[in-house]
């Protein structure tokens, strides 16, 4: 009489978690970011390949909660104080790195006759650099303190926020089911206002309430307050027509300055380690590799090429007078797309506003840019690496 449910749920949880982490470990060993392994696990075990796991409603919900924690963590690792200090160059790099990829992606999709909504989706997914992957590579190379790395990191963070604004717009589009320019304008203003409020005002609110939080009797009160606000802002963001994860990102940003004092990072990471694999696995499980033939494969390759060129050119432009080394370093550093692109894609697919082929194209583009960036960056930054090593 014990229902069949819990047992199946437990098996699904175990199989997904194990497969994702095993594939992650394998790829990590050949120096490919682990997140791609988690996606591949989903491709392999999901309904389009082996068909062992058909994500249930619960798994889909866990994936959504996982995406929220991925973005909460990204925000937590981004200091809004640094953002304000980081200077014009990084902001210009970020703006150009958003404008060119979106324009090229959107333009090409329209050119080959796609719908405006679909084209906006693909363009938006090409925008956001993965702060996580870039930071990881720079840290592995031990060059985080170099001038180049500072520009890249600053730009990647701004770029993430711009990506969030794009995502808000995309989620808003999904709501209305098409492009209405007035509505679009409202969304852009709304998203920008939300972003500015969260960057400029929210950290002060946190600073004001921090003594109160530390006086609470509950164990781990700071973590609990941060989690509650993360859930609240996720809901608020979804409620006013943006994507929930935007709220999660800004909730993280709000607590970034207090994270070391409250030791939030290892704790938020732990929750993330458990939940994020369900998100990345779901991405893979939605990916139909059989779609990659003829036209779709061609489009995927073109979009990927555009995603690479547009970031290198776009991000290189504002630093053009610093010479080729800097242009290429910044451009390649900004190349890897990541979680944000995938979240844009999955949101679009679930809202049935992006086709399976365009979903597959976005995931392909994300995977290729993420795989290519680390080795190229490793070659390009040899100079900085030697300088860092000899200064010790």
Give contact residues for a second copy (rule: CB under 8 A): 1-3, 6-7, 9-11, 13-14, 17-18, 21, 24-25, 28-29, 34, 57-58, 61, 64-65, 171, 174-177, 216-221, 223-224, 227-228, 231-232, 234-235, 238-239, 244, 266-271, 273-274, 347, 350-353
Residue 12's nearest CA partner among 268, 349, 277, 269 is: 277
CB of 13 to a second copy, least distance (A): 5
Q: What is the CA radius of gyration of the chain?
A: 20
CB of 108 to a second copy, least distance (A): 25
Task: Measure the CA–CA gap between 120 and 132, rounded to whole angstroms.
Answer: 24
Task: Measure the CA–CA gap between 303 and 287, rounded to whole angstroms.
Answer: 17
For a second copy, the closer of residues 270 and 387 by Cβ is: 270
For a second copy, the closer of residues 200 and 263 by Cβ is: 263
For a second copy, the closer of residues 107 and 178 by Cβ is: 178
Those residues with Cβ within 8 angstroms of residue 365's Cβ, 6 or more apart along the chain or in another chain: 125, 126, 300, 303, 304, 307, 337, 341
For a second copy, the closer of residues 132 and 163 by Cβ is: 132
For a second copy, the closer of residues 235 and 324 by Cβ is: 235
CB of 361 to a second copy, least distance (A): 21
Cα-based torsion angle of the residue sequence 261, 154, 311, 377 in order, rounded to the nearest 10 degrees:
-70
234, 164 contact by CB (below 8 A) = no
Task: Measure the CA–CA gap between 154 and 95, rounded to whole angstroms.
Answer: 12
Task: Measure the CA–CA gap between 44 and 86, rounded to whole angstroms.
Answer: 42
CB of 19 to a second copy, least distance (A): 10
23, 41 contact by CB (below 8 A) = yes
For a second copy, the closer of residues 54 and 85 by Cβ is: 54
Task: Measure the CA–CA gap between 237 and 230, rounded to whole angstroms.
Answer: 11
CB of 100 to a second copy, least distance (A): 28
CB of 333 to a second copy, least distance (A): 21
Q: Is 110 helix (H, G, I), strand (E, B) or coil?
A: helix
Tokens at 278, concatenated: 């369900």
For a second copy, the closer of residues 93 and 343 by Cβ is: 343
CB of 389 to a second copy, least distance (A): 22
For a second copy, the closer of residues 217 and 390 by Cβ is: 217
Those residues with Cβ within 8 angstroms of residue 68's Cβ, 6 or more apart along the chain or in another chain: 230, 231, 234, 244, 245, 248
CB of 54 to a second copy, least distance (A): 16
């Amino acid at each position: 009489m014990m229902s069949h449910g819990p047992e199946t749920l437990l098996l699904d949880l175990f199989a997904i978690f194990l497969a994702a982490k095993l594939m992650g470990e394998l790829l990590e060993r050949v120096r490919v970011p682990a997140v791609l392994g988690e996606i591949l696990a989903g491709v392999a075990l999901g309904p389009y390949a082996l068909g062992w796991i058909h994500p249930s409603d619960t798994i889909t919900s866990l994936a959504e909660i996982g995406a929220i924690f991925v973005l909460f963590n990204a925000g937590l690792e981004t200091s809004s104080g640094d953002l304000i200090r980081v200077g014009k160059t990084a902001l210009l790099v970020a703006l150009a790195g958003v404008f060119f990829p979106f324009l090229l992606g959107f333009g090409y999709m329209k050119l080959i006759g796609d719908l405006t909504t679909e084209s906006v989706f693909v363009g938006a997914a090409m925008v956001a650099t993965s702060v996580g992957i870039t930071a990881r590579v720079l840290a592995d190379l031990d060059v985080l303190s170099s001038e180049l790395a500072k520009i890249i990191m600053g730009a990647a963070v701004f770029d993430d926020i711009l990506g969030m604004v794009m995502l808000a717009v995309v989620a808003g589009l999904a709501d209305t089911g098409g492009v209405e320019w007035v509505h679009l304008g409202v969304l852009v203003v709304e998203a920008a206002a939300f972003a500015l409020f969260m960057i400029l005002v929210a950290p002060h609110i946190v600073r004001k309430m921090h003594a109160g939080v530390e006086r609470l009797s509950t164990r781990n009160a700071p973590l609990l307050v941060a989690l509650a606000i993360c859930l609240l802002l996720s809901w608020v963001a979804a409620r006013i027509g943006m994507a929930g994860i935007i709220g999660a990102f800004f909730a993280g940003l709000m607590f970034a300055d207090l994270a070391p004092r409250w030791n939030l990072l290892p704790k938020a990471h732990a929750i993330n380690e458990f939940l994020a694999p369900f998100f990345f696995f779901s991405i893979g499980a939605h990916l139909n590799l059989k779609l990659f033939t003829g036209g779709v494969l061609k489009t995927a390759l073109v979009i990927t090429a555009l995603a690479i060129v547009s970031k290198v050119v776009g991000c290189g432009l504002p630093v053009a007078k610093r010479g080729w080394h800097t242009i290429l370093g910044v451009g390649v550093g900004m190349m890897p797309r990541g979680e944000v692109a995938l979240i844009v894609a999955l949101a679009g697919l679930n809202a049935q506003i992006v086709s399976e082929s365009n979903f597959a194209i976005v995931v392909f583009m994300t995977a290729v840019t993420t795989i290519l960036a680390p080795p190229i960056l490793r070659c390009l930054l040899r100079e900085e690496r030697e300088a860092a090593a000899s200064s010790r």
